[in-house]
Amino acid sequence: MMKILITGFEPFGGEKINPAWEAVNSLPSKIDDIDIFKLQLPTVFRASGLKLFEAIDLLKPDVVICVGQAGGRFDFCVERIAINIDDGRIPDNNGHQPIDETIFKDGENAYFSTLPIKAIVEEVKKAGIPASVSNTAGTYVCNHIMYSLLYYITKNKLNIRGGFIHVPYIAQQVIGKKNTPFMELSTLTKALEISIRATRDHCVDIKVSGGKEC
Ligand code: PCA
């Protein structure tokens, strides 16, 4: 039996909902032979990481997938890399806005996702849902949590695969906003289910191009 811990963030930046949490919360508690544990994280530097570490220690999952909103992005974005820097465009939900601060002084400059990112993208696209590999998770709380997760796994030599997925706005968030991409909530939930199955089915990633020019 495989255990997956999947997280979504609280709303932030003036939004009333966070599609990441809405989609995570809509997942069933079991997918095939996989037990799904859902956790909402505060959109707050540091506190989000501490809450995640506690849940990892308690649950001892095989896989951790963190999910966040990336308003303005068109597709379901599977992140490749997290970097050791906090640089907030806006304050977090506790009013804290770090600028160019190192996340962990004894951490690497960056960590790569250990999810099968290419396999996830291919499987999600096969279901008719736009998806791609993203090469930056930004420098806000989402990059912070992805970095913290991979730092914690590495430092404690945990046998856990982990990574991060960014999702676009959902329909109700773009009412009155012009030229803003969105997906249906049910599409995001389906893409997460596919990502979970792809992670179970691919311990080693597939070799297909996910490259982009800048
Ligand atoms: N998205 C933000 C933080 C919380 C969220 O859902 C980000 O991309 O950093």
pTM score, whole prediction: 0.98
Side chain identity at residue 34, one-letter code: I
Ligand 1 pocket, residues with Cβ under 6 angstroms: 9, 12, 18, 20, 43, 68-70, 138, 140-142
The pLDDT value recorded for residue 3 is 98
142 catalytic? Reply is yes
Q: Which residue has the tokens 């998770």?
A: 137
- How much is the average pLDDT of 182-196? 98
144 catalytic? Reply is no
- What pLDDT digit, counting tens, does each position of 52-104 carry? 999 999 999 999 999 999 999 999 999 999 999 999 999 999 999 999 999 99
The helix (run of H) or strand (run of E) holding residue 185 is: helix 185-201
Mean pLDDT of the residues in the chain: 97
**What is the rounded end-to-end Cα distance, in angstroms, of the chain?**
41
- Rounded alpha-carbon distances, angstroms, from residue 144 to 20, 39, 58, 82, 112: 16, 17, 21, 8, 13
Around Cβ 57, how many Cβ atoms within 10 Å?
Answer: 11
Tell me: pLDDT of 32 over 80: yes
Q: Which one of 9, 17, 52 would you pick to mutate in the ligand 1 pocket, going by the greatest count of ligand atoms within 8 A of its CB?
A: 9
Could you tell me what percent of the chain has a pLDDT over 90?
A: 97
d(C-alpha 23, C-alpha 160), whole Å: 23
Domains of the chain by start residue, with CATH: 2-201 (3.40.630.20)
